């Protein structure tokens, strides 16, 4: 058994939402541009991609108010190429959840098995009325897609841990990656968007169950302490600008 050797962050571009969606209904009327990225895990057991960004055309068609910015270089195939891979090289896709900004590139990963929580796929295929926009991209459900449905916490490969952290969505997973020779990396996906919100136990204004969401924030904090993990925020521009992006890696080569 061996741990992951490298983690690379794949830049997917940016979107705009209202501040109130980031900080629990506070700050209405202030638009905020935020990053979207995916996490590529190079592991002896295979190449794993956690989340796949958004599809610019889909967002322009169905959520144009989020003002998507994504260059050709920020698509999943181009970002994988930056890291030295083709889309067909990815063995496993894990979707933290199936909101459109986390699954838009699944369709490119034709040789991968898609791992996700069993409740998430059910919800995305038949969303509650208030979740319809979040689940607007159904291209992950393409012909030929192979799904492996999960429940509870899972160690997907040696040192690649998925923790069920529901609230933002019903089947939401956070990711912790153990690395040879450095601290574990903890990606909480959409449990909380920014350091300020996380410090106050504030989740995003968009959620499936806010009580579960607060419990998941506290769980992520407990995990970060227990594992002495380095925390990554998914949708915070200031944090994102401090991260190393592909082709750079964690740890540096």
Site residues for Zn ion per CB under 5 A = 101, 190
Question: Which among 11, 101, 119, 137 is annotated as catalytic?
Answer: 101
Decide whether 74 or 157 has the Cβ nearer to Zn ion: 74
Rounded Cα gap, residues 172 and 10, in angstroms: 20
Output the smallest distance, CB 235 to Zn ion, in A. 6
Output the smallest distance, CB 100 to Zn ion, in A. 8
Decide whether 101 or 137 has the Cβ nearer to Zn ion: 101
Q: Where are the beta strands (DSSP E) in the chain?
A: 6-18, 31-43, 46-50, 92-94, 113-117, 146-150, 154-157, 160-164, 173-179, 182-187, 230-232
Decide whether 2 or 65 has the Cβ nearer to Zn ion: 65
Task: State the first-to-last Cα distance of the chain, in angstroms, to the nearest integer.
Answer: 21
Decide whether 2 or 196 has the Cβ nearer to Zn ion: 196
Residue 202 near residue 65 (C-beta atoms within 8 A) = no
Rounded Cα gap, residues 190 and 5, in angstroms: 25
Output the smallest distance, CB 102 to Zn ion, in A. 6
Residue 17, classed as helix, strand or coil, is strand
Output the smallest distance, CB 204 to Zn ion, in A. 8
- DSSP character at residue 106: G
Q: Is 52 exposed, middle or buried (0-12, 13-18, 19+ CB in 10 A)?
A: buried
Rounded Cα gap, residues 137 and 58, in angstroms: 7
Decide whether 38 or 85 has the Cβ nearer to Zn ion: 38
Is 91 a residue of the active site?
A: no
Rounded Cα gap, residues 80 and 86, in angstroms: 6
Output the smallest distance, CB 181 to Zn ion, in A. 30
| The token pair that represents 166 in the structure block | 């529901």
Catalytic residues, by residue number, are 101
């Amino acid at each position: 058994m061996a741990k992951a050797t490298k983690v690379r962050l794949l830049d997917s571009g940016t979107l705009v939402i209202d501040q109130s969606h980031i900080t629990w209904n506070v700050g209405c009327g202030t638009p905020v541009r935020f990053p979207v990225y995916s996490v590529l895990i190079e592991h002896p057991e295979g190449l794993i991609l956690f989340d796949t960004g958004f599809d610019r055309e889909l967002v322009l068609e169905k959520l144009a108010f989020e003002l998507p910015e994504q260059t050709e270089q920020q698509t999943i195939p181009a970002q994988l190429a930056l890291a030295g891979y083709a889309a067909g090289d990815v063995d496993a896709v894990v979707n933290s959840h199936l909101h459109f900004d986390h699954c838009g590139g699944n369709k490119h990963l034709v040789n991968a098995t898609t791992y996700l929580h069993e409740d998430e796929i059910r919800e995305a295929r038949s969303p509650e009325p208030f979740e319809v926009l979040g689940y607007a991209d159904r291209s992950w459900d393409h012909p030929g897609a192979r799904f492996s449905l999960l429940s509870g916490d899972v160690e997907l490969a040696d040192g690649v841990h998925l923790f069920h952290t529901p609230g933002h969505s019903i089947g939401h997973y956070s990711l912790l990656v153990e690395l040879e020779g450095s601290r574990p990396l903890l990606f909480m996906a959409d449990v909380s968007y920014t350091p300020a919100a996380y410090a106050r136990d504030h989740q995003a204004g968009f959620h499936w169950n806010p009580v579960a969401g607060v419990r998941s924030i506290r769980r992520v904090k407990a995990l970060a302490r227990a594992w002495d993990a380095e925390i990554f925020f998914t949708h915070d521009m200031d944090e994102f600008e401090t991260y190393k992006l592909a082709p750079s890696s964690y740890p540096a080569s």
